Structure 1
Amino acid sequence: MTVPLSGVPLADHAAVYGALDQAGFTDVWSSEVAGADAFTPLALAAIWQPGLRLGTAVVPVFTRGPGLLAMSAAALAETAPGRFALGIGASSPVVVGDWNAVPFTEPFRRTRDMLRFLRAALAGETVDQTFDTFAVRRFSLERPPAVPPAIVLAALRPGMLRLAGAEADGVILNWLAAGDVPRALAEVGERRPGFEVVARIFVCPTEDATYARTLGRRLITSYLTVPAYAAFHRWLGRDEVLGPMWKAWADGDRRGALAAVPDEVVDALVLHGSPERVREQVRRYADAGVDVPVLALLPTPELTAGGAEALADLIARLGPHAGEGR
């Protein structure tokens, strides 16, 4: 599950983590955009529910210096030895440049360089090297983790997917349909032992299809108009079906862009229906080669009306233990 959950204060997540564990969820993965940072929700989970595996999906490679990112990852790896995976990615010009005042330049090289730096630093090495996009002078962690975390790479198109396959311990996929997974993994190449495929999957578990599709369209027009995601979906073959949305958005016609997103695209990228139906759709990702399907839970009318009790029931119905009488 993606954490923290929307609408639940971070201080109240002890109950959320407990419910996730009881329902059979194995992992919690954090994101970092403009809400909580990626590390704090996982540090709390490490203490409150020590059986859960932890992951970041993702930490941008631009918004922290190399040393600070290594320190944050090492601290969490020390707190949860053997249970933490560090997911890194390029992020976007808005997050990096507009919100964090850092130039978003050469994202592929910066990601590659940060991956190589982190690999060495988290292994306890002293790093004294000039990379293509930054230089580090004699940095070594005072407290290198006894168990270095796996480093997984967020990737969309062939270059980054190949980098993940060649140098990372796994890949994180995002904003793709189950049917798109084989194409992405073909670029990753032969998977080494222990290499994991993680995918964030947006789910809106409600049978109110109109509500789910309306929300899905808003998300799609917000995300898939970002140049990197637009290029990704062109590469996946959606130029014809999403072309009208991209044109309307470029023309400043936001309503037209929303209206131009076909139902079939929404249904493929934002899973909706009963919790049981959503679970069935998530299994398609696993069948396609995803090792760790990470749900990103969207608000629903039922959650808004039912509060904490409805959330606990939904987690139980979505989890792997659903139907086992737990």
Structure 2
Amino acid sequence: MSRWGLTIPMTGVPLAEHREIVAGLADLGYTDAWSAETNGADAFTPLALASQWAPRLRLGPAIVPAYTRGPALLAQHAATLADLAPGRFVLGIGTSSEAIVHRWNGIAFDEPYKRVRDTLRFLRRALAGEKVTEDYATFSIKGFRLEKAPGTPPPIVLAALRPGMLRLAAREADGAITNWLAPKDVRTVRGVLGDEPELIARLFVCPTADADEARSVGRWMIAAYMTVPVYRAFHEWLGRGEALAPMNEAWAAGDRKKALELIPDEVVDDLIVHGPPEACRERIREYVDNGLTTPIVAVVPGGGLSPAEAARALAPGA
């Protein structure tokens, strides 16, 4: 069986109230808990708590931006989590986006491919306990060594949406993380990544039998993501450029309402897993059958289920 992860924290549940949910995940068949970092909780605090609440789960951030922490601080965060969850922590890093890096954090979003490559190479050395002095293409390190390097350095996986980053993940990382794709798209990604590396994807899952409800929520989410240049380019590569072009044109013109209306139902149904919980579980297994190693369920509110109920209903053993 593949791994089966859940995104934490769950929407609508304060982080302090997650203990019971997280502690019960392994008994439901979940193997992993993965955080994220946009404009809510930071990526590491939920994992630090989960490391103590759920000692059987593998933990990872999907993903931490390579820009918003200095390389040494990022190594410290990773070493701390590796110490809290020995052998159970995976570090996910990526470029993030211009909005998060530049508009929200005031950091230039320059040379994203090189920045991720350099950060990966630095982290490999730092987490192995080396003293690092190196002039990388996008930053320089002078004499940094972790006070306590992990006994076993954690695997590092890269956020990768298109061939260049996928090839970097295949060459130098321990796997790749992607999202916003349909089951059939997994084969396209695998065609570049190869069959061996772990492939992780966050899947947005709305457990409701009301297709209109799911599509209404899904359209807002798709518009928010697919108008971001990196995701627009990703879906052009996957073959959805023509289907999403009217939405992108309306969005660029400032007509948000029209943009939502122009997203085809087929695109929403491709990218948002929805239906009764049993149908959602079957859809998730389609991703696995197409080559996904680790699905990470991100529960989208719907169907009248509380987050805890949704986590139970979407568990692989349900």
TM-score range relative to shorter protein: over 0.9
5+ residue gaps in structure 1? 304-309
Q: CA distance change for structure 1 residues 294 and 190 in 2, over 3 Å: closer, same or farther?
A: closer
What's the TM-score once normalised by structure 2's chain length? Answer: 0.97
Deviation at 1:190, TM superposition (A): 5.1
For residues 13-32 of structure 1, give each alpha carbon's deviation from its aligned partner in whole angstroms, at most 9, with x where no partner exists: 11110232221111000000
Distance in 2 separating the partners of 1:190 and 1:272: 28
What does residue 312 of structure 1 align with? 308
Deviation at 1:317, TM superposition (A): 2.1
Letter of the structure 2 residue corresponding to residue 319 of structure 1: A
For residue 216 of structure 1, the aligned residue among 215, 218, 242 is: 218
Deviates more, 1:310-319 or 1:122-131: 310-319
What does residue 85 of structure 1 align with? 90
Kept in 1, the 8 Å contact 2:67–2:107? The answer is yes
Aligned length: 313
What does residue 53 of structure 2 align with? 48
What does residue 171 of structure 2 align with? 166
Q: Does 2:79 align with 1:74?
A: yes
What does residue 13 of structure 2 align with? 8
SS in 2 for 1:71: helix
SS in 1 for 2:24: helix
Correspondence list, 1:137-156, <5 A: 137-156=142-161
Distance in 1 separating the partners of 2:11 and 2:140: 38
SS in 1 for 2:133: strand
What does residue 297 of structure 2 align with? 295
Distance in 1 separating the partners of 2:240 and 2:280: 23
SS in 2 for 1:197: strand
What does residue 189 of structure 1 align with? 194
Letter of the structure 1 residue corresponding to residue 167 of structure 2: R
SS in 2 for 1:84: coil
What does residue 129 of structure 1 align with? 134
Deviation at 1:147, TM superposition (A): 1.3
Deviation at 1:311, TM superposition (A): 3.6
What does residue 3 of structure 2 align with? none
Deviation at 1:234, TM superposition (A): 0.5
Instruction: Show structure 1 runs of 4+ deviating over 4 A.
Output: none
Deviation at 1:206, TM superposition (A): 0.7
User: What's the % identity of the aligned pairs?
Assistant: 56
Distance in 2 separating the partners of 1:27 and 1:190: 21
Kept in 2, the 8 Å contact 1:165–1:190? The answer is no
What does residue 239 of structure 1 align with? 241
What does residue 306 of structure 1 align with? none
What does residue 272 of structure 2 align with? 270
Kept in 1, the 8 Å contact 2:51–2:85? The answer is yes
User: RMSD of the alignment, in Å?
Assistant: 1.0
What does residue 317 of structure 2 align with? 321
Deviation at 1:301, TM superposition (A): 4.5
Kept in 1, the 8 Å contact 2:247–2:263? The answer is yes
Deviation at 1:314, TM superposition (A): 2.7
What's the TM-score once normalised by structure 1's chain length? Answer: 0.94
Letter of the structure 1 residue corresponding to residue 160 of structure 2: A
Kept in 1, the 8 Å contact 2:57–2:88? The answer is yes
Correspondence list, 1:31-42, <5 A: 31-42=36-47
SS in 2 for 1:302: coil
Letter of the structure 2 residue corresponding to residue 268 of structure 1: D
For residues 250-281 of structure 1, give each alpha carbon's deviation from its aligned partner in whole angstroms, at most 9, with x where no partner exists: 11111111001000100110010011000000
Deviation at 1:45, TM superposition (A): 0.5
For residues 266-304 of structure 1, give each alpha carbon's deviation from its aligned partner in whole angstroms, at most 9, with x where no partner exists: 01100100110000000011001111100111111503x
SS in 1 for 2:25: helix
SS in 1 for 2:218: helix
Kept in 2, the 8 Å contact 1:19–1:316? The answer is no
Distance in 2 separating the partners of 1:214 and 1:200: 20
